[in-house]
Amino acid sequence: MLPHPSSSTPGIAPADYIAGLGKGLAVLECFDTERQRLNATLAAERAGLTRAAARRHLLTLAHLGYLESDGHHFWLTPKVLGLSGAYLASARLPRTVQPVLNRLSAMAAYSFSAAILAGSETVVIARSTAQEGAQQLYAHGVHLGSRMPAHAASTGLVLLAALSDKALDEWLACRRLHRLTLHTLTQPEELRAFLAQVRAQDYCIAQEGHELGVQAIAVPLRNSAGETVAALNAVMSAQRMSAQALERQMLPLLRDAAQELRPLL
């Protein structure tokens, strides 16, 4: 849904807000693994625009080379990768975390990632996979820049647990907790209780909440001021390792990595 600027928007006055740019980016963000092709009606529903406005933005993005079209549906072009590539090349957080992720995968032969909270979702900003011959499991379709519902992902649950009570209330007030599997937390009070547990133990084990057969363990990544800036997780098959073994074997690795990264973030 398109955010509405107000006088309370941090860092910008209403007069400085370019509504057209905000709407265009909202349309661009409508595309994901579930909706790889959109028409004007679907884009309007997802971005919170009128159909006519969505159509104009789709046509403009296509003219600029960010979308292709068959005259009815639109889809992303490789030019979009230039935006994410510029972020990954210039942002400090991914560049700082990536070597540690690579080392963890070499040591433990699992997939590791770092993610940040962006609205309703977590966004993968760095990841590494197991070396050839070891377990290559990673949640279906997950790659750099992937977005996952925060309430269903181990990293998202860690990041939500780091929010203040007021911030969590505001986050829950304007969101529906969609069900992805039978194990997804979809009731606000159920989620609050689980987040309280995550906050108390300072880590999260998420079992098949995002995808059946996949489990993950995550810890917060904090900076030197103690602020949670991201989350670090390990992903593996739910059949290959029990939750107890996951906690025993992987949690120390993740915590050591988080401690190593803390003065660098």
pLDDT one-digit tens code per residue, 150-203: 999 999 999 999 999 999 999 999 888 999 999 999 999 999 999 999 999 999
Q: In this prediction, what percent of the chain has a pLDDT beyond 70?
A: 89
Cα distance between residue 190 and residue 212, in whole Å: 20
Q: Which of 144, 148, 126 is nearest to 214 (CA)?
A: 148
Q: What is the mean pLDDT of residues 41-52?
A: 93
Query: For the chain, how are helix, strand and coil distributed in percent, rounded to 5?
Result: 45, 20, 35
Cα distance between residue 86 and residue 95, in whole Å: 12
pTM of the model: 0.76
pLDDT of residue 80: 87
What confidence category does residue 33 fall into, taking pLDDT thresholds of 50, 70 and 90? low
| 233 close to 218: Cβ distance less than 8 angstroms | yes
**CA-based angle 149:210:35, to the nearest 5?**
60
